[in-house]
A and B are shown apart, each in its own frame.
Chain A
Amino acid sequence: MALLTVRNLTTSFATDQGTIRAVNGVSFTLEPGEVLGLVGESGSGKSVTALSLMRLVREPPAKVEAELLDFEGTDLLRAPARTLRDIRGAGIAMIFQDPMRSLNPVLTIGRQLTEPLRRHMRMGAAAARHRAIELLEMVGIPMAETRLGSYPHQFSGGMRQRVMIAIALSCNPRLLIADEATTALDVTIQAQIVELVRRLTKNLGTAVIWISHDLGLVAGLCDRVNVMYAGRIVETGPVREVFYRPAHGYTIGLIGCTPRVDQVGTPLTPINGLPPNLMDEAPLCPFLPRCDVAIPACRQTRPALRNLPGGHAAVCLADLTSHHRGAH
């Protein structure tokens, strides 16, 4: 059985200028232990999708709707607030880009680590403290026992993100959502953190949703990837299928404009123009104005999700086989 089933999720925000559909009909499933990448550029709806799953979007002004939002048999959309609080932290945990803003600056690291243990695991003070030390050791913080009394500002950025990971994994969640969790870190620290999350979640069997604008990270970490554009999933599939046999004009554009550290500069192919305004409901493919591979049919009908071999699917009318580069 799937761990998470999302069917036709739509999150909209009412503003004075009109309604912004930040997430517009997103559907996907996630199996236990699966690592899913969510890629796309700013404003594509990656983060709002994650926040909607956690029911962390403030309603109103937002409105979260879905046919189904199922996590381990619980309907996240209709569950009472108390059930949601039990799921957040214990069922689904989340780490964000900026650990300084997700950690409370006036509470010690120890207090912030023991809080979820006492709330979700019903541990007593001594047991929670003991477990907190183990968790800090697990994420590679030296002198864990003495660091329990430290405050977040006494840690470096990489150390703070380690603390966030320790808190997120403390109650053995079945799903970890990492929202640009390494974007603010230097690459050598990013490599440490990515390796840490990969190892720990693999050992614990935790499913992970990696939200990232970095195609390289997703290429190395994920089993499957969803490519998002203008609030929609435009392509989904196993990571090798999507990278080597992209089936959407946007995915081809994204790969073509990403420089690679292992290749000498062929000129980058930028995607011309700008992403669409999310207030206007486009009658055709939202990527059409920027698409280099559009065919005449794209100007007449709106594409539907087309299934391809190998569990791969895309919302695109063009036949893109000539753009496939194959594995190296």
Chain B
Amino acid sequence: MSSAAPLLSVEGLAVHFDAQRSAFGPAAAPVRAVDGVSFTLARGRTLGLVGESGCGKSTTGYAILQLIRPTSGRIVFDGMDIAALPAKELRPFRRRMQIIFQDAAASLNPRMPVGDLITEALEIHGLHRGAGRGRRIRQLLDLVGIAPHLAERFPHELSGGQAQRIAICRALAVEPELIVCDEAVSALDVSIQAQIVNLLQELQRELGLTYIFISHDLSVVRHVSDEVAVMYLGRIVEKASRQRIFDAAAHPYSRALLSAVPIPDPDVERARERVILTGDLPSPANPPSGCRFRTRCPEVIEACAAKDPPPKLLAPGHYAACIRV
């Protein structure tokens, strides 16, 4: 990897939510949605952030964008710790970091036609004022493969794929460097999903975008990511290049997760050995002592309960937090 400073560096990020206080009795423990997440991301690359519901992957994305203020930790974007900035000074950074959500139709104002939705983004950040604005909007729509006449349409008149293209268009309007894609293709049918995945990849090549691709779908993540971080109960348990994660995963959780993903090939799928985990995810308000995965881990030993395993370097860029690797 180049020696240039990374675009994004997350250090010891924690986001805790206070539990609802009952009228009587002691206050409940806070929910530790994200509890000590660190990674760096180079410009122009894609980090896949995977894990199951409640592992903290979306909260990590929101905290990076300062949509949720972190409880502790540093978010260094292009050399500046934005977690420490007051709200007013954040605005120029907000333009440089955008997000695309799973339900595009719900993230678009239903009362605004498509053209106005994009104009609004330009207006807020004072971009392309005056005569050039109309041309810029047509250019942006063209970039995401939307015919110009659709600018008159309202969000409910769009198909799911078109709505997601508009959400991407709106994010691109302000010329961001980092885009967080939060389950951005998860709700789409595979044929449309492939269209949007290809679009995101083309845009990355053309515009040099950096992506954090949050998804529970490991097949798509393998397809789009340069690096992958696997999260479990608020922690990154393993991080490596795409190739290492998918071909040489070391953490028992990563291996179980990968083995659970069905493969659309009858002979391959029937010949696989599958690690079936027992039980459900523990509560993030009350994580197990020691290693958080130990209650479901097929390779657990006594020592796992004693100590929270620190990330161990297995190969350049490949870390796993497990005492057994």
Contact = CB atoms under 8 A, between A and B. Distances in A.
A239 interface: yes
Contacts of B265: 219, 243, 260, 262, 328
B246 A270 contact: no
A216 B261 contact: yes
B194 interface: yes
Nearest to B277: A188
A217 B256 CA distance: 17
B193 interface: yes
B150 to A, nearest CB: 13
B244 interface: no
A158 interface: yes
Interface string A251-266: 0011101111111110
Interface in A73-106: none
B190 A262 contact: no
B267 A271 contact: no
Given A187-B257, A189-B280, A267-B198, A258 B264 contact: yes
Nearest to A155: B280
A254 B258 contact: no
Interface string B83-95: 0000000000000
Interface string B171-200: 000000000000000000111111101100
Contacts of B193: 257
B219 A187 contact: no
Contacts, number: 136
Interface in A29-54: 41-42
Contacts of B189: 41-42, 213
B266 A220 contact: yes
Interface in B265-285: 265-270, 274, 276-278, 280-281
A156 B52 CA distance: 14
A264 B242 CA distance: 9
A195 interface: yes
- The secondary-structure label for the interface of chain B is helix
Contacts of B269: 216, 219-220
Contacts of A257: 190-191, 193-194
A254 B190 contact: yes
A268 interface: yes
Contact of A265 (B192, B222, B263, B268): B222
Given A217-B262, A257-B193, A265 B223 contact: yes
Nearest to B50: A187
A259 B222 CA distance: 8
Nearest to B218: A261
B289 interface: no
In which size bucket is the chain B interface? 35 or more
A220 B276 contact: no
B260 A260 contact: no
B264 A187 contact: no
Task: Specify which of A42, A216, A267, A272 lies most central, judged by the most chain B CB atoms within 10 Å of its CB.
Answer: A216
Contacts of A255: 264
Given A188-B52, A188-B277, A259-B222, A327 B267 contact: yes
A271 B194 contact: yes
Contacts of B191: 41, 253-254, 257, 270-271, 290
A254 B218 CA distance: 18
B159 A268 contact: no
A192 B218 contact: no
Contacts of B96: none
A186 interface: yes
Nearest to A241: B266
A26 interface: no
Contacts of B257: 187-188
Interface string B207-234: 0000000001011101110000000000
Contact of B194 (A159, A213, A268): A268
Contacts of A42: 189
Contacts of A268: 194, 197-198, 223
A76 B189 CA distance: 32
Contacts of B197: 259, 268
Contacts of A318: none
Contacts of B222: 259-261, 263-265
A288 interface: no
Given A217-B262, A243-B265, A264-B222, A274 B161 contact: yes
Contacts of A111: none
Contacts of A244: 266
A183 to B, nearest CB: 11
Task: Specify which of A188, A195, A262 lies most central, judged by the most chain B CB atoms within 10 Å of its CB.
Answer: A188
A279 interface: no
A150 interface: no
B280 to A, nearest CB: 5
Interface in A138-194: 156, 158-159, 186-192
B280 A258 contact: no
B53 interface: yes
A328 B267 CA distance: 7
A289 to B, nearest CB: 13
A187 B264 CA distance: 15
A212 to B, nearest CB: 9
A186 B264 contact: no
Nearest to B199: A270
B209 to A, nearest CB: 17
Q: Which 5 A-B pairs have the closest CB atoms?
A: A216-B262, A215-B264, A271-B191, A270-B194, A257-B194
13 contacts: A187-B218, A189-B52, A189-B280, A190-B260, A191-B277, A214-B262, A217-B262, A220-B263, A260-B265, A261-B263, A268-B197, A270-B192, A271-B194
Given A41-B190, A187-B218, A219-B266, 19 more contacts: A188-B52, A213-B189, A214-B264, A215-B190, A218-B264, A219-B269, A220-B269, A220-B270, A240-B267, A255-B264, A257-B194, A258-B219, A258-B264, A259-B197, A260-B265, A262-B246, A262-B268, A264-B246, A268-B198
